[in-house]
Structure 1
Amino acid sequence: MAGYTKKEKSWMMYDWATSAYSIVITTAIFPIYYKSVAQQAGVSAANSTAFYSYSVSIATFILAMLGPILGAIADYKGMKKKFFIFFFLLGSISTLSLLFVPSDQWLLLLIIYVLTSVGASGANLFYNAFIVDVTKKERMDEISARGFALGYIGSVIPFVISIAIIILSQNGILPFSASVASKIAFFITAVWWISFTIPMLKNVTQIYYVEREPKIIVNSFKRLGQTFHDIRKYRNIFLFLLAYFFYIDGVTTIISMATVYGTDVGLGQTDLILALLAVQIVAAPFALLFGKLANIFGAKVMLYTGIGVYTFITIYAVFLDTVLEFWILAMLVATSQGGIQALSRSYFAQMVPKEKSNEFFGFYNVFGRFAAVSGPFLVGITTQLTGNSSYGVFSLVILFIIGLILLIFVPDTKKGHSPIDVAPPN
């Protein structure tokens, strides 16, 4: 971390803080716990997967609808931090609430999960927008990639502790059930998240903003309307967002559905957990590598690379039916998962006007969130229609192809273009 400012370090540490939620709740332990609870309640594997998909869609739809207006309000002086704190507390406290859900209440479990997801996603909206306040444009790719790398490294610690507790409880070494062990993992996640968010709360402040004025909500809607009126002026930003909508749809769906899919193809809990742990470890250096290579070849070239890898993953998933093949798929995900998300964030940050960063990251959130609505829904519908979750994963290939084609028409920020410079004359 040498060579980075206190603001840059504090901003990057939030990736470390929220990483526990990403791996324990979004990706690994919670989905497995939910599947076991649903199974005990008599819900079929296909239906429990579908209901989980729908809950992901609901959570992301809620914030997608709120994103632009919250972003426009947050552009006012002093508002960005307040919104960040609100959603951070919503997510972390809801995560703690998972401890008190009875082990036979699978539907209530999903409802609380929706609240945790809204909180985590909402906090990330404003966290992402803070990148313009903590570093320079030419450092954004590296800072963003390093943040993701720190997240992967940091996630290993609470994940390993949680896995150890679960395994020891399953083997009778600890005097409680695996269900209780999973709830302890949820507690560890919330404490980790809260503790390592403190540097962000103390050291990161809003530098670029719109001056406060009366009737900020009304005027926020007016500024949103003006942005839409000037959409031709920002056409390249919205072209990028359209490309992002499709390819990040596939990425986030694969992340959120990985363990549920692995369960459906017959993989044991231990194999799933170990594979996900390996992904966190391998993804860290690859996220850094994406950031370094972006400085050489440009972020756009590296985004092409990540999309290409994910396209292959969706095809490969159709033929997956052994532990070894799942490990190969997991390692392929690890090579590009962090890089494609980190560079999408920094690429977009370099395009937007800094004083309107929250508003534009609100749109970034809308496109990302609506993508996260449609992807799991697509997997859920395809899985139910075919009775095979492998075909559900394969259905995502079209999203990566469309995203890649659209991205081709977005100007390369490495060449010094801004979204306004390259817009056609009125």
Structure 2
Amino acid sequence: MKYTKLERNWVMYDVGNSALVLLQTSVVPIYFNALAAGASSAGLVTAWANAQTVASLVVAFLMPILGALADYAGNKIKFFIGFFLTGLVLCFAQAVPMSAMAFLVIYVVCTIGLNSSMTFYDAMLPDITTDERMDAVSSSGYAWGYIGSTIPFIICLALIMAGPSALGLETMFCTRMAFVITGVWWLVFTLPLLRTYKQKYGRERSSEDTLGHIVSGVFSEVAHTMKEIARDKVVLLYMVAFFFYIDGVHTVISMATSYGSSLGIDSTQLVLALLVTQFVAFPSAIIYGKLAGRVGTLRMITVAVVAYMCIVLFAAFFLKTATEFWILAILVGMFQGGVQALSRSYFGKIIPKEKSNEYYGFFDIFGRYASVMGTLLVSVVTSLTGDPSLGVLSIGILLVVGFVLLVKLSKMQGSAA
């Protein structure tokens, strides 16, 4: 598929931000565990799950309100830049030596900046391409993000593993430098989008739309959009299904390394296995985009949800050794990019384009609160039982509910056709 310049620059942002996502899901939990040396395995998993929960709650609360403001012509890029810079500055800040608790606070705020920028980035999709190309472009974003993010990650990994012996540097110092390398990579691959993006769909300002008038009308606009969503059975049912199934996806991604570390699996094995995930995810996401065009986007999302149900069962009952973690990493790579890419492109097809930012704000609420529910569930079950495996198993219930709702949505669309 030949990209337009704007489509290519949009995809490049996925290449940039995915480097930080990869670092956060692999090296950062291990680094945090090193800072909090002496804490119990259950305590480490609980602290990490709570940090994910707080970050998700803040983003979920902010996005519908800011999304309504961003839907005014020209505002989307301003909010995107603001959150991107917040995440970037705090990415660099994590390289400063500090206590475990201070690091966790900075990590949470950095994650808020990263995830919020990605909400506005997702909402750019209707502006930069057409409905017919949306599945392929969205899948390409995830695919190139996966493969591109491995470049700075390999550099960081080589520094962490070889730095102490080859350069005489401390491992903790080398790990902190990984934040600097990743931040520079993120910045470089964001600049092309900043230079070329123009908001195509949006509400035009009138002469009466002063800042005070716009702000005062935001909450009524949000309430009106909520009523529109409630009346649209397809959008509503899909968002509820997304709320449940994306929980399993995000929780597995965010908790995998922390869970593996708590089982005593060697950190090097954990990081290398997750690196393999990126290489597996690259062709898998591209294939998912192509298959969606042939058999249907919703059907391919449902297939991925079933796969994640199997992945959760495998993690809960069979994950004990490094070899099994490698199997888990490969399975996640096969379905992770596809389900995320098709989820955002399918939503982009069924919503009003001129209100994409506000709708994606609500979409993000469902995604973020699902993440809150998943990580909180893991935290609570692990704390009560002292067994992280039971915490992992508990999220399977949410995936089953998501699957049932997707089947219902498919039947609804089939009867409508």
> Does the CA contact (< 8 Å) of 1:298 and 1:414 recur in 2?
no
Indicate whether 1:133 and 2:117 are aligned: no
Residue among 187, 190, 196 paired with 1:203: 196
- TM-score of the aligned structures, taking structure 2 as reference length: 0.96
Q: What are the ranges of 5 or more consecutive residues in structure 1 without an aligned counterpart?
A: none
Mapped contact 2:260–2:270 kept (Cα < 8 A): yes
**In the alignment, is residue 315 of structure 1 matched against residue 313 of structure 2?**
yes
Q: 1:413 to 1:29 in 2, by over 3 A?
A: farther
CA distance in 1, matches of 2:161, 2:60: 37
Matched, 1:151 2:145: yes
The 2-side partners of 1:136 and 1:256 are apart by 32
* Shift in CA distance, 232/107, structure 1 to aligned 2, threshold 3 Å: closer
The one-character-per-residue Cα deviations of 1:98-128 (angstroms, maximum 9, x if unpaired) are: 01142xx100010000111000010001000
Render the CA deviation track for 1:211-266: whole Å, top value 9, x for unaligned: 12231111222211222233443232121111001111111111011111111112
Distance in structure 1 (CA, Å) of the matches to 2:377 and 2:40: 19
Tell me the amino acid that sits aligned with residue 124 of structure 1: M
1:394 to 2:390 alignment = no
Distance 2:279 2:388 in 1: 27
Confirm or deny: 8 A CA contact 1:72 1:358 kept in the other structure.
yes
Identity of aligned residues (%): 43
The amino acid that maps onto 2:187 is I
Q: Secondary structure at the match of 2:264?
A: coil
Asked whether the 8 Å contact 2:230–2:236 carries over to 1, the reply is: no
Aligned equivalents of 1:19 and 1:121: distance in 2? Answer: 11
AA partner of residue 79 (structure 1): N
Give the TM-score normalised by structure 1. 0.94
Q: Provide the C-alpha distance between the structure 2 equivalents of 1:5 and 1:389, rounded to a whole number of angstroms.
A: 46
2 CA distance for matches of 1:232 and 1:194?
39
- Give the CA deviation at 1:398: 0.5
Q: Which of 27, 30, 54 is equivalent to 2:28?
A: 30
Conserved 8 A contact 2:305-2:403: yes
Deviates more, 1:212-221 or 1:28-37: 212-221
**Cα displacement string for residues 102-156 of structure 1 (whole angstroms, at most 9, x for unaligned residues):** 2xx1000100001110000100010000000000001100000010000001111
- Counterpart CA distance in 2 for 1:413 and 1:271 is 45
Aligned length: 411
Check whether the contact 1:15–1:150 (CA below 8 A) recurs between aligned residues: yes
**Aligned with residue 305 of structure 1, among 303, 324, 349:** 303
Local SS of the residue matching 1:76: coil
Distance 2:4 2:274 in 1: 32
Note if contact 1:62-1:118 (Cα within 8 Å) is conserved in structure 2: yes
Q: Which residue is 2:349 aligned to?
A: 350
- Residue by residue, what CA displacement relative to the aligned partner does 1:61-102 show, whole Å, maximum 9, x if unpaired? 001001111111100011000000000000011110001142
2:216 to 201, 207, 218: 218
Distance of 2:327 and 2:336 partners within structure 1: 14
Query: Unaligned stretches of 5+ in structure 2?
Result: none
Q: Choose from 82, 86, 89 the match for 2:82.
A: 86
Cα distance change, pair 363–232 in 1 and its aligned pair in 2 (3 A): closer
Alignment of 1:94-105 (within 5 A): 94-102=90-98, 105=99
Deviations 1:356-384 (A, max 9, x none): 00010000110111111111111111112
Q: CA deviation at 1:322?
A: 1.7
Higher helix residue share: 2
Match of 1:179 among 155, 163, 172: 172
Tell me the distance in 1 between the aligned counterparts of 2:248 and 2:269.
Answer: 23
Residue 243 (structure 2) aligns with = 245
Structure 2 residue identity aligned to 1:36: A
Deviations 1:139-174 (A, max 9, x none): 10000001000000111101100110010134x222
Q: Give 4+ residue runs of structure 1 displaced > 4 Å after superposition.
A: 411-415
Residue 361 of structure 1: aligned partner: 360
CA drift at 1:412 = 8.2
The two structures, once aligned, show a CA RMSD in angstroms of 1.6
Q: 1:68 aligns with which of 52, 60, 64?
A: 64
